[in-house]
Structure 1
Amino acid sequence: MKLTGKSVLITGGAGFIGSHLVDRVLQENPSNLVVVDNFYLGREENLEDAVKANPGLKVFRLDAADLAAMRDLVEAEKVDVVFNLAVIPLPTSLKYPAWTVTTNVNIALTFCELARWGAIGTLIHSSSSEAYGSAQYVPMDEGHPLHPRTPYAASKSAGDQLVQSYWRTFSMDVSIVRPFNNFGPRQNPGTFAGIIPIVVQRVLHKQPIEIHGDGEQTRDYIFVRDTANAFVHVYEEAATRGKVLNIATGQEITMNQLVARLLEVMGVPDYPVIHSQQRPGDVRRHCGDIRLAHELIGFEPPVISEADLRETVDYYLKRFS
């Protein structure tokens, strides 16, 4: 099962992970590649290189939760494969929980319906490690209980349950990818920025680094291009159908440790760091079990490397300078 010669749709394709997936899918020489993004977080500049190298790339500003619009699009473009990465992010759910949940659930439902109707051939749906909540044991395998701590996490958990229920009921060709925390170039640097762009901006502006809580909360960080590669391999392997696969490194790092490494990379190891109140719904510990992904798709991602951190920091230094 290869993407060569297929018509492929990537929702959320102008976003952080989505734009890297666009780059990766283009390497497979699909017959047609379509991007859908509402540009709530996605940015046109994330696709600039892809568009220059592939003038046939089609980008549509549409709502992936709009079933009628998506049906018209997949039928017009004769879409074979959908990588569904469209999402309203976690921080938005703390301010607009109803909109976040409704939209995220409807995105999953839209593509479940399209698959049920036979309007698309294969659905690769993106979940989130946030669906697990804080670790009850580590490493967290795919059987770990789902105890979402935020409306966002609940919406991702609900979407996963929808996808699996459609697979069981209608025998559709679907797989679920559950990424843990991603880092790399193109992560949103604005209101909902991740920790790395925040650290770079604060150092450039000579502001102290703020860590919410005591900083001993852990995350399992994976480089974004490794995640994009995993999405493609999940599509290629029929044994993943109907399953959820963690995409992580199996290694956890505290926020204090990550910030210290970033400051080392930036050459300011003694830069001031302050601790503030813990954020609502913040999980305490995350560390993914990736044995299933290793078994099914040969997944063996490297842990956070200095080269990947340097590339990421340099990207934001250039962007913010």
Structure 2
Amino acid sequence: MNKYSLRGLYKKAIVTGGAGFIGSHIVESLLEDGLNVISIDDYSAGKSENLQGLSEKYGVKFKEVNCDITDYENLKSNFEGVDIVFHQACSKMTVCLRDPRRDLAINAEGTFNLLELSRDFGVKKFVHVSTGSVYGKAQYYPTDEVHPVNPTSYYGVSKLAGEKYVRAFNDLYGLNVTILRYFHVYGPKQESSDVGGVVSIFARTALENKDLTIFGDGSQVRSFTYVQDVVNINKFVAKDERAAGQAYNCASGLSVTIQQLADDILAELDKTTLNIVYKDWKIGDIKEFNVSNKKLTDLGFEFKYLDFSEGLNKTLEWSTSYFQRKDS
């Protein structure tokens, strides 16, 4: 049995954002563990195709629900018997720039709805996804979990509001919660539209034989974490009681510049004849990431994908196959 398996610990799980990039990987992993899984997604970014074939693959049926997490009554109808929630659904940085009120509704109100229902239905564990954007401009490196939170974007503010609600439900009602702050997760199934991640966007653009666009000069650093490591972290904190009430940087510790990423993708896909176009910096963009994962590794978690090229190659293989199927 996989050391991160939740078999026997939990019976029924909700995964919000379950049809999304990370959520669909978590759904698959939980099905492999034999859990009864409900995927909740409003399909603004998630895709039903991310979940296709999973019931047949694992011989376990799961429920796929089209629901906005701001819709309290619809959410409520799915909570009977649920004993763990993996709250992956969130707005994205691109959404906050386009519609900050929607960003606030999803990341704050939606989180509150899920917490309230988790309390009322006796959920045993609530794993909440947050973001490194809650720190804002780093005051020191490597940035750890006790760093002051001073977000510089609507997205960071709304995610911090969600975190505060999570902590309130832990303090007021004893709800067993853990907060995971993500940093640039990448891997197969990542959305490649403007609500996706930079790795998948660059991959799609290159495969379409279009020039890549970098906002800024490419010197900005990102801490990329492969999706399977992220899945394992979610399950790891769901198993370890020491994680109750804690927040963890969910980051591999790898540091890669956007320029290096663009160059690597063009080289790996044999697209070096394409150009890189530089445009103005995005508002609120963080230029430096140097993230400490010591709190998580001290708890005993071991990252598997610490070679960026290994995870990138797996991602590009999937992207190439995916867009070939789409074009055929």
TM-score w.r.t. the length of structure 1 is: 0.93
Partner of residue 70, structure 2: 65
2:135 is aligned with 1:122: no
Structure 1, unaligned stretches of length 5 or more?
A: none
Whole-Å separation in 1 of the counterparts to 2:176 and 2:323: 43
Aligned-residue offset at 1:236: 0.2
Query: Amino acid of the residue matched to residue 56 of structure 1?
Result: K
1:33-73 CA-partner distances (Å, limit 9, x unpaired): 11111111000110013233245111010112222222221
Whole-Å separation in 2 of the counterparts to 1:228 and 1:293: 14
Q: Which stretch has the larger CA shift, 130-139 or 149-158?
A: 130-139
State the Cα RMSD in Å: 1.7
1:207-249 CA-partner distances (Å, limit 9, x unpaired): 2211110111111001011101110011000100000011111
1:14-93 mapped onto 2 (5 Å cutoff): 14-30=19-35, 32-53=36-57, 54-75=59-80, 78-93=81-96
1:160-206 CA-partner distances (Å, limit 9, x unpaired): 01101221122111111112110111111223232223222332333
Whole-Å separation in 2 of the counterparts to 1:185 and 1:267: 19
- In the comparison of the two structures, how many residue pairs are matched? 318
Partner of residue 245, structure 2: 242
Partner of residue 13, structure 1: 18
2:210 is aligned with 1:207: yes
Partner of residue 109, structure 2: 106
Q: Which stretch has the larger CA shift, 61-70 or 295-304?
A: 295-304
Query: Amino acid of the residue matched to residue 220 of structure 1?
Result: S
- Would the alpha carbon gap of residues 143 and 41 (structure 1) be closer, same or farther in structure 2, given more than 3 Å must change? same
Whole-Å separation in 1 of the counterparts to 2:14 and 2:51: 14
Q: Which stretch has the larger CA shift, 63-72 or 12-21?
A: 63-72
1:288-307 mapped onto 2 (5 Å cutoff): 288-307=291-310
CA contact under 8 A between 2:6 and 2:30: conserved in structure 1? no
Query: Amino acid of the residue matched to residue 38 of structure 2?
Result: V
Aligned-residue offset at 1:133: 1.8
1:265-284 mapped onto 2 (5 Å cutoff): 265-269=268-272, 271-284=274-287
2:175 is aligned with 1:172: yes
Aligned-residue offset at 1:22: 1.0
1:189-204 mapped onto 2 (5 Å cutoff): 189-204=192-207
Whole-Å separation in 1 of the counterparts to 2:128 and 2:253: 21
Query: Amino acid of the residue matched to residue 61 of structure 2?
Result: G
Quick one: which of 226, 250, 256 aligns to 1:253? Answer: 256
1:4-45 CA-partner distances (Å, limit 9, x unpaired): 351111110100110111111122222x11111111100011
Secondary structure, counterpart of 1:262 in structure 2: helix
CA contact under 8 A between 1:74 and 1:119: conserved in structure 2? no
- Would the alpha carbon gap of residues 33 and 265 (structure 1) be closer, same or farther in structure 2, given more than 3 Å must change? same
Q: Which stretch has the larger CA shift, 176-185 or 235-244?
A: 176-185
2:315 is aligned with 1:312: yes
Q: Which stretch has the larger CA shift, 297-306 or 116-125?
A: 297-306
CA contact under 8 A between 2:222 and 2:257: conserved in structure 1? yes
Quick one: which of 161, 164, 180 aligns to 1:161? Answer: 164
Q: Which stretch has the larger CA shift, 55-64 or 180-189?
A: 55-64
Query: Amino acid of the residue matched to residue 221 of structure 2?
Result: T
Whole-Å separation in 1 of the counterparts to 2:204 and 2:34: 37
- Would the alpha carbon gap of residues 73 and 95 (structure 1) be closer, same or farther in structure 2, given more than 3 Å must change? same
TM-score w.r.t. the length of structure 2 is: 0.92
- Would the alpha carbon gap of residues 313 and 2 (structure 1) be closer, same or farther in structure 2, given more than 3 Å must change? closer
Whole-Å separation in 2 of the counterparts to 1:117 and 1:214: 49
1:266-310 CA-partner distances (Å, limit 9, x unpaired): 123454212111111111112221111112242334324323211
Query: Amino acid of the residue matched to residue 90 of structure 2?
Result: V
Identity among equivalent pairs (%): 27
Query: Amino acid of the residue matched to residue 239 of structure 1?
Result: R
CA contact under 8 A between 2:210 and 2:274: conserved in structure 1? no
Aligned-residue offset at 1:121: 2.1
Whole-Å separation in 2 of the counterparts to 1:55 and 1:29: 7
